[in-house]
Structure 1
Amino acid sequence: MQIYVVEPLDTVDSIANKFGTPVEEIIFANQLIYPYKLAVGQALLVEFRPNQYRTRRVINGYAYPFISNYVLRVTLPYLSGLYIFSYGFTKEGEVVSPALDDQWMINEAYENDTKPVLTLTPFDENGVFSNNLITALVNNEQAIENLIGNLIYLMNEKGFAGLDIDFEYIYKEDRDAFTSFVAECTRRMNEYGIWVSVALAPKTSSDQKGLLYEGKDYGGLGAAANSVLLMTYEWGYTYSSPMAVAPINKVRQVIEYALSQIPEAKIDMGIPNYGYDWTLPYEKGVTKAKTIGNVEAIQLAINNGATVQYDDVAQTPFFNYTIGNEIHEVWFEDVRSINAKLNLIDEYNLRGAAYWQIMRLFRANWLLVESKFEVK
């Protein structure tokens, strides 16, 4: 596997000649757009043959039912699990299905030997995480019994192989009740051969303050579920100041704390498949960043003559560009930043990774994954 950073005067042809790689392979792998212009500082995957010493890992990806059929089909061969986002529930324990049919996704997953997973979220009628809905559920034994029974029936009927519990903004008073709920889900689901995972906000200590963190007991949830997903992204987010979405130094801190509470064989690391475009100057509470894809980010740099830079601490690419009187700052992921994250999986011997999300095709990422891991 080779990653090349574009220098001034480089062309696709000159880079192909330098590595003895067919031009068509570079164009295909990096989703280059005719007439194949490049941005200075752009990272290209130029060689991507599978390593004979690849380790076996679990690689999962989240997707909504409105994903492009093409994107799903070309991505599934690289995935262990397809996490379908998302199912909800009422405070009485009735299951709320997605507005769009997802059976076609389940069928496509099985055709590619990928396990379809039902993602359960406590969304209210506005599509926002509701901590009050969580409270109503986890403190009501009858509601829990109803929900688990309804989920088992639905999952067996539709063919789901796993359940992913993605509850956020849990009140600290509900921490132990939520852990008990996950444990009961795991016990009951495992009787039917259904795997249970739980998503964890990126904590770095047991006493970390904040609504995202206080309701999540890493040790307890690690024992309660079959596996956990560390949501190691969103340091840079829609309303934050411009910065990396998943800076490697912060990701490392979360992993090291998680390992003090949870066995390595149970831990999946979250990886973002997107970036953000901020308008400057940043004004807290006012500036709202636009979500963009990683391939889209590079095209934005090319179209505006921007030079891509690389932050060595965050190990993440970024650039600035100007349109009219507006100055923009973009942080995104490329094969360098993804490679750094994938290396952490082997360094800490984690179970694997999960991508949020796979709605936009980032082919170089999947070729990179294939070159490093044998997907379980």
Structure 2
Amino acid sequence: MRIHVVQRGDSIWKIAQNYGSNSHQIALLNDLMDNPDTLVVGQSLVIPEPGRDYVIQPGDDLWSVAQIFGVTVQELAEANNIAHPSLIYVGQMLTNPYISHTVREGESIWEIAQQYGVSVEHITSANNVGTSGLIFPGQTIKIPLASGSVAETNAYMTQLNEQGQSEVMMLGRYLTYVSPFRYSVKENGTLTQLQDQTVLEAAKANNVSPMMVVTNFSQGEMSSDLAAALLRNPDAQESLVTNLIKTMRDKGYAGVNFNFEYVYPEDRENYNNFLRRVVSELHPEGFLVSTALAPKESAQQQGLLYEAHDYQAHGEIVDFVILMTYEWGWAGGRPRAIAPINKVRDVLDYAVTVIPRNKIMMGMPLYGRDWNVPWEEGTLADTVSPKAAVQLARKYGATIQYDETAQSPFFSYVDEDGQKHEVWFEDARSVQAKYDTVMTYGLRGVSYWVLGMPFPQNWPVLQRNINVRKFENL
């Protein structure tokens, strides 16, 4: 998989010729089948590599793709995190577990192994060479793909209907955890109800571990008073823990993610002690505990969103944290990148000094925003998917630009009423920068907000960069 930025005069056919790829495969992978002949200057496309990548077409099954690659169905399924052979979908990219190498005069298996960064044992095993290690000039041998970085992925989701179920079925192979949003705690420690069963069934079918999200959401907002009522009442906390264990057991959740926002600063240590209590009772039951944290750049950062989120304490207490490294470009603010990589790295630079790197999940947005400009205080931007953003650029003849500092695409357009707009969103380049950051910092993984926003380029970029960790039994 490669990333191509559309230039003036490009067509799908021309791009395919330049990369030795297939135009139909490119259109499928980028979800362009509705209009493959109209590209946007500045649009980024993911390009499948012949022999290494194959994009599923109508009528394909795992056996037929395995035949194309010359591998077994089991090898193909394992290499692509497919829990069951039937769980493949049109437009998704499958990766060949091997690449081919033609042996040259004088080459040894050791030299070939060094060239590709794999072990001699892996090559001999893949080719049934045996202990002799004999290979011959002109012989074509299979080279197992070198393992990429192993990391975890989580995705929050708010659509818990049949559409949400379908999305988990389609994207499950890319996910370690899925987090239906949300259960809300009440002052007495009971929980609101959530109709999450269909999503949980889809998660189970794809070997995705579900995380139960618990918030202090009440009457349309995150409530500081509700958090205070719980965090200052040991009896309510005991009731909550009892309800958590019962719900997670009954529904098959692997753990809980606390997303308590706008907690009063004076409840900072109450929150820490609450987490200590929860961990002491949930760990013996085999459940994970995690928290979602506001994006802080220092321990002294001021503001109701930040002060009660104690990075160091959470890093010591819970199994992992999710840093909400997005919403710089929020709906009620001025136009800017949703998750500018320079700001994300500022948060990480602080976080890694007080939280173990293997406990940090970096937040990633799967959406963009469309602002009216000039921006006026009190106005709200529309939330758009990355796919919809490109469609807007196409409709209004805009050229997509790229901010190198923020590592984010953007463009402007004027609508039918003469209103000017500015759009910031994510594309293949911006998510590549984010995966690079995860690997550079040695983090546990990434957490997406939020499923339900079509972003076809994200998943092959993830696939090329990260081997997604799966758990059979947590």
Structure 1 and Structure 2 fold alike (TM over 0.5): yes
Cα distance in 1 for partners of 2:372, 2:23 equals 36
Cα distance in 2 for partners of 1:53, 1:104 equals 33
Larger Cα-atom Rg: 2
State the Cα deviation string for residues 183-219 of structure 1 (Å, max 9, x = none).
Answer: 2112211111111110010000010001111111100
Partner of 2:291: 198
Q: Describe how 1:1-376 pairs up with structure 2 within 5 A.
A: 1-36=1-36, 37-47=38-48, 49=53, 52-64=146-158, 65-66=160-161, 67-98=163-194, 101-124=195-218, 126-284=219-377, 286-323=378-415, 324-376=417-469
Alignment check: 8 A CA contact 1:71 1:361 kept? no
Higher relative contact order (CA 8 A, sep 6+): 1
CA apart distance, 1:52: 2.6
| Partner SS state of residue 28, structure 1 | helix
| Partner SS state of residue 181, structure 2 | strand
Alignment check: 8 A CA contact 2:147 2:467 kept? no
Cα distance in 2 for partners of 1:24, 1:145 equals 57
Cα distance in 2 for partners of 1:35, 1:226 equals 45
| Partner SS state of residue 220, structure 2 | coil
CA apart distance, 1:33: 4.2
Alignment check: 8 A CA contact 1:75 1:361 kept? no
Alignment check: 8 A CA contact 2:328 2:339 kept? yes
Alignment check: 8 A CA contact 1:180 1:224 kept? no
Letter paired with 1:85: F
Cα distance in 1 for partners of 2:276, 2:428 equals 37
Q: Identity rate of aligned residues, in percent? A: 39
Letter paired with 2:418: N
| Partner SS state of residue 260, structure 1 | helix
Letter paired with 2:230: L
Cα distance in 1 for partners of 2:265, 2:410 equals 36
Letter paired with 2:215: T
> TM-score if structure 1 supplies the norm length?
0.97
CA apart distance, 1:68: 3.4
Matched positions, count: 372
Cα distance in 2 for partners of 1:256, 1:25 equals 40
| Unpaired runs of at least 5, structure 1 | none
| Partner SS state of residue 322, structure 2 | strand
CA apart distance, 1:22: 1.2
Alignment RMSD (CA, Å): 1.2
Cα distance in 2 for partners of 1:251, 1:152 equals 34
> TM-score if structure 2 supplies the norm length?
0.77
Cα distance in 2 for partners of 1:144, 1:35 equals 54
